Amino acid sequence: LSVDKIAQLSLLYKWLNSFPFLFLSGAGYHSESKAKEYKHVCKRACQRAVDRLKAGAFAVEAVAAALVELEDSPFTNAGMGSNLNLSGEIECDASIMDGKSLHYGAVGAISGIKNPVLVANRLLNEAQKGKLSAGRIPPCFLVGQGAHDWAVTHGIPPCPSEKMATKFSLSAYKRNKRKMELAEKMDTGHNQTKKRRQSSENENGSGCLDTVGAIVVDQEGNVAAAVSSGGLAMKHPGRVGQAAHYGCGCWAENACNMNPYSTAVSTSGCGEHLIRTMLARECSAAMQSEDAHQALLEAMQHKFISSPFLASEDRVLGGVIVLRCCRCVEAQPSQDIQGALVEFLWSHTTESMCVGYMSAQDSKAKVTGFSIGAGL
């Protein structure tokens, strides 16, 4: 894949007196039969987050609210209705990052929790309170049963795994299981090894990668990012994808002396590809360049598509949404008027990517995407 096979969209908002914005996405394959449902849930998530921003919530609270809405939908591969693993169980990954404090919270391979992002957010909040008893460092990343138990002890209600599976996820699991059983009955050999590899690529292709993520800037100019995923279909139990890994699933960092722009990033796609390239952090760093559009193109090309860490891969699957903003002051005869320059860009190598966005000034959310390989 080359740069001309990446879809891009750039939005520019300039000279706003207040600037809460919410952007969210999911990359992978979105069937046309479910396009309407995808768009509706994206709009609801945008509205929920913007309502929180209008009420004075910080970016990290709003981004968590957006993810909860996406996790609750049976049409996304996050929370309810997530992909099932080889054992027929749901294990989810999620992470969240606050650009103001630079704190991060994450859970991996967690079962029995309807909204994994709430556990990640609670980890972030607890870490901000400082050390535990006897000077212990509070955790920022928990996995498996330990993550589940920690969540329950901190007031997050459990949800039986069987209630998290939907007719869509169960049907996909049964279909994938039959394919695997059929492959195992076939003769072994070089040709069979090749067939199994191709089958694995198809089952772990872009049809199973619809991770969800969101990025936000609040009225104070703080940024936050979050991501949540049920992981690859038929994954090995205990597998943790990019949605939980630091610098891979999401990144948020307010502007400082060294960085003139605040940035927030969320990724989606094949977790193993995104982990090995730390794409979220790489894209955030690239956004400090003057030309954001060109910087994202180069980051996707050199840090992901042509990355030496992915040289052995036939297909490189991923998508990213990026927000960058800065405070602006324009001199006026009577007073200084402070506003914001906000840029939103997105890029993907997957078959499609659904993107929703909304500002506090918008009456309703806008949703775009479902494109197949072509530039926008």
Active site residues: 211
Quick count: other Cβ atoms within 10 Å of Cβ 87? 11
Residue holding tokens 């939908």? 73
The letter for the amino acid at 272 is E
Residue 334 burial class via C-beta count within 10 angstroms: exposed 0-12, middle 13-18, buried 19 and up: exposed
* Residue 109, token pair as written in the block: 């391979």
Q: Which residues of 30-41 are buried (b: 16+ CB within 10 A; e: fewer)?
A: beeeebeebbeb
Q: Residue 355: CA atoms inside 13 Å, Cβ hemisphere, count?
A: 26
Which pair of structure tokens corresponds to residue 190?
A: 């070089």
- DSSP code of residue 79: S
Q: What residues are paired with 328 via a beta bridge?
A: 339
In the chain, which residue ranges form alpha helices assigned H by DSSP? 35-54, 59-72, 116-127, 144-153, 161-164, 167-185, 190-203, 271-277, 279-286, 292-300
In the chain, the largest separation of any two C-alpha atoms, in whole Å, equals: 82
Name the DSSP class of 287: T
